[in-house]
Chains A and B, each alone.
Chain A
Amino acid sequence: MKYFYYIILLLFCFMFSCGQMPENVKNVDSLPDIFPDYVGVTVPVNIAPLNFNVKNSQDVYVELSGNGEKLISVGKYADFDIEKWHLLTQKNIGGKIIVSVTAKISDEWKKFKDFDICVSNDSLNDYGLTFRMIPPGYETFAHIGIYQRNIHNFDQEPVVDGMAIQGDCMNCHVPNHANPKEFQLHVRGKHSATFIRRNGEDKYVQTATDSTIANCMYAYWHPSGKYIAYSLNLIHQTFFEDTTKYIEVYDNASDALIMDVDKNQLILYDKLMTEDFESYPVFSTDGKTLFYCSSKPYVKSGILDKMRYSLIKVSFDDKIGKIGCDFDTIINAEKIQKSITHPRPSYDGKYLMFCMADYSVFPIHHTESDLYLLNLEDNTMRNLEEVNSDFAETFHNFSSNSRWFVFNSRRIDEINNLLFISNIDENGHCTKPFLLPQKNPEEYYSNLFFSYNVPDFTSEKVELDIRKFARNIFNTPRIQVGVKRN
């Protein structure tokens, strides 16, 4: 019986042992093949540990070092202690962490060339990210949710989940300058509403009117919180039987307008509701300019691949809620034969980041879609080559200090949109982006059947009583917005 207990004890020791230590190590003159590719990335201090897997390895021994600090991980994958990792990043601000990987592959221990992870001088003090998680589907989503992720560890929780309001679609959680106390989100379906939180007050608004073509859709807050710029889009999809392209999403009509949040009033402007298609309106950081995208309505003649959106700006007087007459086409789509979408100004007012694709208002399905940066001071633009890939990059947004941005990319598998974060310095140079860290990245991402969508930073955790929200979605009468022509 005594031996039996010893065997059990031994088995337990074996089960909970932390992995093997390397022996008979062979030096290899190449970088390790790791997932995610964190080689040479730049991270903010106190980011969640950049755990990684070494492809085809049985065991790994990873040593991180920098500025006298050391951190070791031994096991099936590189899994770092959060507190020690944070300490390591704190000690190496503005410097580099050297990553030394030894992995057991095909029963042989191999020591690869070291690589660096840079720790930026720029902090990222926001709590984390908000985003929608959406299963692959085209016309319906029972399990859809808006989630928040603490980027300093691995905690993720729903802001509101499809479980609470079953069968209804949710989209576009849009905070004002990463402020969780001021945001809006739409619920679509039977219980359609636009939920707006401002000044501690929640309201459920019905934005469809007789004077407008659709519900309010893509949103952007005025920095004062008094207004939200919206586009109204009649969205359609066409499906292909090609082996490479499955879908094209386009508008059959679209307009832009501004909502006066306090008065629950849509302000309509003839110049933003023309025969052309206006979309993605956003305010500049000082609130004095409205940027939006506009295309000639070629789709009405059945020509989808000519739908190219120009970037236009016009002045906005936030005191009286009026736009000016000074419409200025900043980037002419016809001229460059490209389509500009998703403009997002940095909160320091210096830049405007946008997507550029060959055509389309919805670049997410366009592999050629790349991120571009427009310098608002000298109106020069450039392709963010250091960030882009051969696959679609879309839905970007800045951190509250404008030194980091998050974006969607399909570069991992071409199918799912995953989140990447990159550092942007004051001259507009970006660093190699890193995939949103996960505890066990390979396991997490290879079992992920959802896409990330519409990410944004949130300075603090979003507090929303889900049950109350659901109750109100089902029961509360909607505030019908009024209309004012300007």
Chain B
Amino acid sequence: MKKSKIIFLIFAFLSFCFWAFVHPEWLNFHEQYQLFEFSTDYFVEHIVLPGGFVVWFSEFFVQFFYNNFLGALVMTGCLTGIYLLLKNGDNLIALLPPVLIWIYSGDENMMMAFPFAVLLSLFAVKGFERLTLKNKFYLQILIVPLIYWLVGYCAWIYLILSLSVDNNGYRIGKENFIKISALILYLVGFQFFTAYFITRNYPLIDIFCGINYYRLRMEIPDLQHIIALCCIVVPFIKIPQKKWIMYSQLSLIVVVLVLGVIKKYDFDRYSYYKIDYMVRNQEWEKLLDFAKKNNLQSDFASTGVNLALAMTGQMPDRLFEFNQTNNEGFLSTFGYNSFTCTVTAEACYYLGLVNSVLRYNFDLQAAILNCNYSGRFTKRIAEAYILNGRYDVAKRYLNKLKRTVFYRAWALKAEDFISNNNIKSNPDWARLNNIRVKRGLNFSNPHLGEMLMYFSVMGGENRMALDYALSSFLVKRDLKSFVESFPYYTKYFGTSQIPKIYQQAFLLACVQSGYSIDRIPNFISPEIISFFQDFDTAYLLNKNSKVFKTGKYVGTYWKYYLIGN
């Protein structure tokens, strides 16, 4: 097998593994901000815009990102497709554009429409190359605007390459230079025509640089233009077939890839996406391991960690093993974007705060900058309406989901439940229906503990809400509220197995109130009391001692209360 083929296969393998195993959250991120519908309206909505077809085409493929392996296959297919269409002999330089796209993809606002536009443009070049007509040039008068309409600004790649290729490869001579210049003017004219007569509602930069190539309007990164330029230039490059040149190219590409990926896929940002991904897929233990290993410190991470702790019943035992911030680490206030409250929205769902599920998901959906719908958010909205008994409205959202590949089965099932007025046969909905409060509860983030206490007392038995409430008092160092609320915990769950952190907090409250040992309630175990005495001695001796940072007191409430995280 030729070396270039081996390199190609390695590239494809690495690409697949990268998205399937290293950054599946990238796939999740892209999938959750679109909802590809199999409907004529959905297609027409897209095709009426220049470049709209490629957006539709890319969204069709992005829906497969729902599954990591399919998503990784799509990405690999797209990148290797670009390479194969640019490949000129054994030249490895053709790997440069896909490698740059790989790097560019680290910017989560890059829309898949861009790489697919590159792919389709190159494909069109090959198609045009195969045409055997005599006066092919005149056909370009029709094809160039058509390609522009289908793929947007990547039509430039098609225009220049299709007019530069002949039997001897790519070159620009005097004759095709005039043709290219004429068609460039023609395409610019067509773009202006489009801008002023068809898409008056879009900024000019979008018309010239691609609608929905990038999630943020009017802020298209230079890297996108560099990649497009590379796709035009690479086929013209002729490199002698020498071993050292090949290795030099390979080294250059590897260095660019590694450095680029490290820079663009920066850990802090992607750790957020990872947490969101794990929350969505209910990978609670994995999330806790990830947070512990990387000592994550942010409100967002705390929201994910606390949800994972609650879902695994570990909240009152392990809460202070992790960084805790404030109420924002339990349920965040809305961040005016489509991401930072995704985990909070999920936490509200599991807690049974149905209207908050609706509110957060509506706002998350309304904040999607390219105005797409989200399958994930739409599903939760439908569920919230079902739980509120608004089946007619829920059906509207279910109809949307029924027109998709991956949400269809769920939507049909949900429709079945509501048609038979039998939502209680869905265990999740039955639970949420039991625990929710029907009247008299205001959502209040500053008074989260009090709100959740009321919620857990007035609703059905809701251990999770109770743990959230008590934990939020502890994180706020509000021992008074904790002690006042604690009887509700013992009322529901008895005093035989009080979690470690609650015992520690209660003991601390007793000590602060000047209780002698014999007055301390007997649900606090002697081990905890003796442990506290050790802690107290160590603390009085030297509160800056290393033992509080790495030793046995890490994770205790006393350490958090007196020293901090």
Contact = CB atoms under 8 A, between A and B. Distances in A.
Interface of A: 135-143, 158, 161-164, 166-167, 238-243, 246-247, 413-415, 446-447, 449, 466-467, 470
A192 B530 CA distance: 61
A470 B201 CA distance: 9
B438 A243 contact: yes
B178 to A, nearest CB: 33
A143 B392 CA distance: 24
A185 to B, nearest CB: 16
A413 B390 CA distance: 9
Nearest to A158: B201
B369 A167 contact: yes
Contacts of A161: 201
A467 B455 CA distance: 49
Given A139-B334, A414-B390, 18 more contacts: A135-B365, A137-B365, A139-B363, A140-B337, A140-B363, A142-B338, A142-B366, A158-B201, A163-B202, A163-B371, A239-B359, A242-B355, A243-B438, A243-B439, A246-B359, A413-B392, A447-B396, A466-B200
B441 interface: yes
B443 interface: yes
A311 B396 CA distance: 40
Contacts of B390: 414-415
A236 to B, nearest CB: 12
B367 interface: yes
A118 B41 CA distance: 34
A377 B473 CA distance: 61
Contacts of A246: 355, 358-359
Most-contacted residue by chain A among B41, B201, B393, B442 (CB, 10 A): B201
A163 B201 contact: yes
23 contacts: A135-B365, A138-B359, A138-B362, A139-B336, A140-B363, A158-B201, A163-B217, A167-B369, A238-B442, A239-B443, A240-B442, A240-B443, A241-B355, A241-B443, A241-B455, A242-B438, A243-B354, A243-B388, A246-B358, A246-B359, A413-B392, A446-B399, A447-B399
Interface in B419-443: 436-443
B415 to A, nearest CB: 14
A243 B352 CA distance: 12
Nearest to B206: A163
Contacts of B55: none
B434 to A, nearest CB: 13
A247 B355 CA distance: 9
Contacts of A163: 201-202, 217, 371
Nearest to A137: B366
A470 B203 CA distance: 8
Contacts of B200: 466-467
A118 B399 CA distance: 36
A241 B437 contact: yes
A140 B359 CA distance: 11
Contacts of B363: 137-140
Interface residues of B, number: 45
A241 B354 CA distance: 7
A239 B336 contact: no
B204 interface: yes
Given A140-B334, A163-B217, A164-B203, A242 B443 contact: no
A164 B366 contact: no
Contacts of A136: 362, 366
B10 interface: no
Contacts of B436: 241, 243
Contact of A449 (B337, B355, B388, B396): B396
Nearest to A141: B366
B356 interface: yes
Interface string B116-155: 0000000000000000000000000000000000000000
Interface in B183-239: 200-204, 216-218
Contact of B371 (A142, A241, A242, A415): A142
B369 A239 contact: no
Would you list the 6 A-B pairs with minimal beta carbon distance, nearest first? A137-B366, A143-B371, A241-B441, A239-B443, A166-B217, A140-B367
B441 A242 contact: yes
Nearest to A136: B362
B368 interface: yes
Interface of B: 41, 200-204, 216-218, 334, 336-338, 353-356, 358-359, 362-363, 365-371, 373, 388-390, 392-393, 396, 399, 436-443, 455
Contact of B393 (A135, A137, A141, A413): A413
Contacts of B362: 135-138
A446 B216 CA distance: 30
A52 B426 CA distance: 37
B396 A240 contact: no
Contacts of B201: 158, 161, 163-164, 466
A242 B390 CA distance: 13
Contacts of B217: 163, 166
B97 to A, nearest CB: 28
Contacts of B388: 243
B82 to A, nearest CB: 29
Contacts of B370: 142
B443 A143 contact: no
Nearest to A140: B367
Contacts of B369: 142, 166-167
Contacts of B359: 138, 239, 246-247
A240 B355 contact: yes
A142 B33 CA distance: 13
Contact of B366 (A135, A413, A415): A135
Given A162-B371, A163-B371, A143 B442 contact: no
A241 B442 CA distance: 6
A142 B202 contact: no
A466 B200 CA distance: 7
User: Could you say which of B365, B370, B390, B399 has the most chain A C-beta atoms within 10 Å of its C-beta?
Assistant: B365
B396 A142 contact: no
A158 B359 CA distance: 27
Residue with the greatest number of chain B CB neighbours at <10 A, chosen from A136, A446, A470: A136
Contacts of A141: 366
Contact of A239 (B41, B356, B373): B356
Contacts of A241: 353-356, 436-437, 441-443, 455
Nearest to A412: B392
B392 to A, nearest CB: 6
Nearest to B388: A243
A413 B337 CA distance: 28
Contacts of A139: 334, 336, 363
Contacts of A164: 201-203
A86 B530 CA distance: 90
Interface centre among B353, B363, B373 (most CB of A within 10 A): B363
Nearest to B378: A449
A142 B439 CA distance: 31
Contacts of A414: 390, 393
Contacts of B218: 166
A415 B358 CA distance: 13
A435 to B, nearest CB: 16
Contacts of A143: 366, 371
Contacts of B393: 413-415
A286 B191 CA distance: 50
Nearest to A161: B201
A413 B370 CA distance: 27
A204 to B, nearest CB: 17
A167 B369 CA distance: 7
Contacts of B355: 239-242, 246
B340 to A, nearest CB: 11
A163 B371 CA distance: 8
A467 B389 CA distance: 44
A222 B217 CA distance: 38
Contacts of B443: 238-241
A243 B437 CA distance: 8
Nearest to B348: A241
B334 to A, nearest CB: 5
